[in-house]
Structure 1
Amino acid sequence: MSKRTKVLVVGGGPAGSVAATALAREGVQVQLIESARFPRYHIGESLTPSCRTILEAIDVAKKVDDYGFVLKYGGVLRWESDSWVFDWGSRLGINSWQVDRAEFDQLLLEHAKSNGVAVTTGVSAREVTFHEGRPTAVRCVPDQGAPFDIDDFDYLIDASGRNGLLSTRHLDNRRMDKTLRNVAIWSYWRNTKSLPDTPKGGINVISSPEGWYWVIPLAGGRTSLGFVTRKDVFTERRRNYSSTNEMYRALVHESESVRELVADAEYLGGVHVETDFSYAADRFGGPGYFMIGDAACFLDPLLSTGVHLALYSALTAAACIASVNRGEVTEDASLTFFEFAYRRAYTRLFALVSIMYERYLGKDGFFRTSDRLIGEEPSLEAGETASSESFVKLIAGLPDLWEATDASTRVLTERLTAEALLVQRRFMKAEDGPGSPDFSSVLENPLRDAESAEYRLVTSPKLGLERTKVRES
């Protein structure tokens, strides 16, 4: 293990691997530690087209294509009485993948190694030492051998996932959203069907009175099939079954739509349960550190945005550090841009996911909300329905990349913030109790602080930040 490094990355999932690779390709010395030994199982199999764009930037997309994952061109949402197709291939000319995360994550980590990142697995980061607010050392505990410190680095990237090395253990700045406190239960099948008109390799999302189902085709004829519901509903219903397997099978057969998809399929067994509580930290970075992926925030998996947010934050953090390292921007300016870019992405997707849980809106309401969130709200005649174009772009993750790289396309901060706050406050069912700050604060204040950011992200001829002028209207 190297003694001196410019950047220490904690966590070897997609966020950590992409950030480390992007920096190494800019000539920055990077060391990465990961607590698990890969390959390791992980949920989050359905990727957005934005992931392709980001992986192309670090020259690994072709490796993912060649690996044999299912190519994903869109999907079908069946939400209450509405059903609609989103086809990224025909509408946007881009596709993504349905992946086995154990294999996908290992592929990204191996790519990091091949680009010069010093990778060590089986090492957990347990404690961070700070000096005047800046991290100066990380206490590491290997699964074999004695604990040791890494204490010679300039930047710490926290990609530790939901464990949240910095946010939960040191900064105490993670705020939970009381409106999206869900639980997911899932397993695997072979040879399931898809809903009619599903684009090639597409995901199916099907609502129910108590939640929603995902149906994701994977390589080898397998399918990931899961159900997401509120924690209180899950807890109450769990009492009626002798096992999670029994509960899962009952949930699958409750939905007529899902039941038809698995009618001739083989159940492979092995039930998983995980909480999907949405949260965000008050701040995503500070002197000498950046929090990326789930270490900074997590959003309900309804629109498969988890890996998008991980890769987007990873590339943005890497661009910030690379520019600071070359003396092109100050550290403060880079942190302002990172906060601006990452929180805007989270805030916008939070608003859209939350609005979809308000079922009475219908798909026309979802589409109109999407128009407002992108800033392309058209003037509609009485009785005219909204187009799905903005919705299709949003769930592809592309507006976040467009706005980071082209300041002229950015929607006014106040508009995004107001939309997200409106949804969040409408969803609030109870006042926050003592010691549980209002989640709305993490949606509002940092966006205002970062509103005057004057940079854009560039990937060519080098990764970094470039000074520009943000559109003011």
Structure 2
Amino acid sequence: MTESYDVIVAGGGPAGSTTAGLLARQGLSVLLLEKEKFPRYHIGESLITGCVGVLEELGIRERVEDLGFIRKRGGSLVWGKKGRWSFTFAEGEPEFPYAFNVRRADYDALLLTRARELGVTVIEETTVKSVIEHDGRVTGLRYVTRGGTETEADARFVVDASGQSRVVGRALSEVNWHENLRNLAVWAYYQDCAPLTGEEEGNIFIEHVPDGWFWYIPLYDGTHSVGYVSSVKAAGEAGTDLNQLFERKVAESTHLKAMLTGPRVGAFRSARDWSYASEKFAGPGWVLVGDAAAFVDPLFSTGVTLAMLAGSATAKLIVALLADPAHEAQLLERYEESYKRFLADIISFVTFFYDAGLDREAYYEYAQALIDPAKLFFPRKDFITLISGLNSLQPIFDLGLTPAR
């Protein structure tokens, strides 16, 4: 069987659903292939405000509000020389002063549903088998449904939003790992724990402990996502299994151990070696978006927001290059440059922030040096802007969609 579309998107997570939905909204025929059946579990529950504008663009911000997720207005940290401190997104003067802590199964299912509503053909429980190429250009994908039907789908353009599976990127680009961010995480869920209160209500809580740090994310009904992150090297030197390591590090904490007042519900989960970037983000007929392109350490919860911002930019990019194929190479180059530039800033900042022995003013000033070298704003505001997934001075994806002729 052979099918034809304007665009094929591999992957139905936040990056894929956003890209596909916004393309369909522009009148393009879009096929989205997803290997799982939604709703499905996924880690990465704490969002930042940079994604809220994309929810507006998709027309579903109010629906996200109606799902009853916890509003996240900022963060509270035990990090650096001066003990516990906090920030609010509103201090950065964003368009939207809060984000959400979400159940990813519900959140991602809503995004995929919206893509369907906007006209995307969505096929779940589908395995992409190979990339179709002609004369050095990607022209489609071969896929197999759960029922065993194998199909070739042709397209004017292909988007890889398949996360770490990288169903297109794996065939077309190598991956570079960030060696100084080779970390692992072990996490679980706890119920009836002590919530943050007052101005900290809804905040993600982060506490540094020897050799690592914890996240503590309020989700719903008193449930909290609690995870410990450490370098692979430090965890290996600890000489114990990850579950025991988690419990031992909780005991070493100052604040977290007093907050874990309720029982753990469910088993521990773990992941490791997640910080990487593809060498190439785009090429003739294809582009990578979200985790298929790169993933950065979860310290500042950038994953979902960067995926959705990139999805929004990718949709605009594809509309432009399909209308003006002669400038495809130029537009793809701008996409890759802007994506890598923002990633470099985030990676540089995360690496610097992992030095937990500094004054918080040092973190503010480093953020300013990255995104506001002219010092047009106060350093604390630049810090908040950066970790909101935004930029004070220009769009993260500054594509310049009117190519010079």
The equivalent residue for 1:132 is: 135
Q: Is the 8 A contact 1:321 1:334 kept in 2?
A: no
Structure 1 CA distance for aligned equivalents of residues 306 and 273 of structure 2:
15
Identity, % of aligned pairs? Answer: 33
Structure 1 CA distance for aligned equivalents of residues 132 and 221 of structure 2:
46
**Which deviations, in whole Å up to 9, do the C-alpha atoms of 1:49-83 show, x marking residues without a partner?**
01101111121211111111111111112114333
The equivalent residue for 1:34 is: 34
Matches within 5 A, 1:97-246: 97-150=100-153, 152-168=154-170, 170-194=171-195, 199-237=200-238, 239-241=239-241, 244-246=242-244
Matches within 5 A, 1:239-258: 239-241=239-241, 244-258=242-256
The CA deviation at 1:196 is: 6.8
Query: Kindly tell me: are residues 281 and 73 of structure 1, through their superposed partners in 2, closer, same or farther at Cα, counting changes over 3 Å?
Result: same
Question: Structure 1: which 5+ residue stretches go unaligned?
Answer: 381-385, 408-454, 457-464, 469-473
Structure 1 CA distance for aligned equivalents of residues 2 and 136 of structure 2:
25
Structure 2 residue 64 is the aligned partner of structure 1 residue 64: yes
The equivalent residue for 1:75 is: 75
Matches within 5 A, 1:57-456: 57-82=57-82, 83-89=84-90, 91-92=92-93, 94-150=97-153, 152-168=154-170, 170-194=171-195, 199-237=200-238, 239-241=239-241, 244-262=242-260, 264-327=261-324, 330-376=327-373, 378=375, 387-399=379-391, 402-404=394-396, 455-456=399-400
Q: Secondary structure at the match of 1:148?
A: strand
The CA deviation at 1:324 is: 2.0
Q: Secondary structure at the match of 1:32?
A: strand
Query: Kindly tell me: are residues 232 and 292 of structure 1, through their superposed partners in 2, closer, same or farther at Cα, counting changes over 3 Å?
Result: same
**Which deviations, in whole Å up to 9, do the C-alpha atoms of 1:30-53 show, x marking residues without a partner?**
000000011111000000101101
Q: Is the 8 A contact 2:372 2:393 kept in 1?
A: no
Letter in 2 for 1:128: V
**Which deviations, in whole Å up to 9, do the C-alpha atoms of 1:205-240 show, x marking residues without a partner?**
111111111010002221000000011222343x43
Q: Is the 8 A contact 1:376 1:390 kept in 2?
A: no
> TM-score scaled by structure 2?
0.92
Structure 2 CA distance for aligned equivalents of residues 37 and 398 of structure 1:
32
Q: Secondary structure at the match of 2:43?
A: coil
**Which deviations, in whole Å up to 9, do the C-alpha atoms of 1:381-407 show, x marking residues without a partner?**
xxxxx74111111111121894247x6
> TM-score scaled by structure 1?
0.80
Query: Kindly tell me: are residues 330 and 292 of structure 1, through their superposed partners in 2, closer, same or farther at Cα, counting changes over 3 Å?
Result: same
Structure 1 CA distance for aligned equivalents of residues 35 and 109 of structure 2:
13
Kindly indicate which of the two structures has a greater share of residues assigned to strand.
2
Query: Kindly tell me: are residues 28 and 41 of structure 1, through their superposed partners in 2, closer, same or farther at Cα, counting changes over 3 Å?
Result: same
Q: Is the 8 A contact 1:173 1:282 kept in 2?
A: yes
Q: Secondary structure at the match of 1:71?
A: strand
Query: Kindly tell me: are residues 144 and 245 of structure 1, through their superposed partners in 2, closer, same or farther at Cα, counting changes over 3 Å?
Result: farther
Structure 1 CA distance for aligned equivalents of residues 162 and 294 of structure 2:
11
Q: Is the 8 A contact 2:339 2:396 kept in 1?
A: no
The CA deviation at 1:3 is: 1.8
Structure 2 CA distance for aligned equivalents of residues 17 and 326 of structure 1:
22
Q: What is the number of residues matched between the two proteins? A: 401
The CA deviation at 1:376 is: 4.5
**Which deviations, in whole Å up to 9, do the C-alpha atoms of 1:324-359 show, x marking residues without a partner?**
233397212220221122112211111111111123
Q: Secondary structure at the match of 2:8?
A: strand
Structure 2 CA distance for aligned equivalents of residues 18 and 183 of structure 1:
28
Structure 2 CA distance for aligned equivalents of residues 91 and 306 of structure 1:
20
Q: Is the 8 A contact 1:276 1:300 kept in 2?
A: no
The equivalent residue for 1:20 is: 20
Q: Secondary structure at the match of 1:335?
A: helix
Letter in 1 for 2:152: D
Structure 1 CA distance for aligned equivalents of residues 4 and 393 of structure 2:
33
Structure 2 CA distance for aligned equivalents of residues 28 and 329 of structure 1:
19
Query: Kindly tell me: are residues 100 and 268 of structure 1, through their superposed partners in 2, closer, same or farther at Cα, counting changes over 3 Å?
Result: same
Q: Is the 8 A contact 2:2 2:152 kept in 1?
A: no
Question: Structure 2: which 5+ residue stretches go unaligned?
Answer: none
Q: Is the 8 A contact 1:211 1:228 kept in 2?
A: yes
Matches within 5 A, 1:448-467: 455-456=399-400, 465-466=401-402
Q: Is the 8 A contact 2:10 2:161 kept in 1?
A: yes
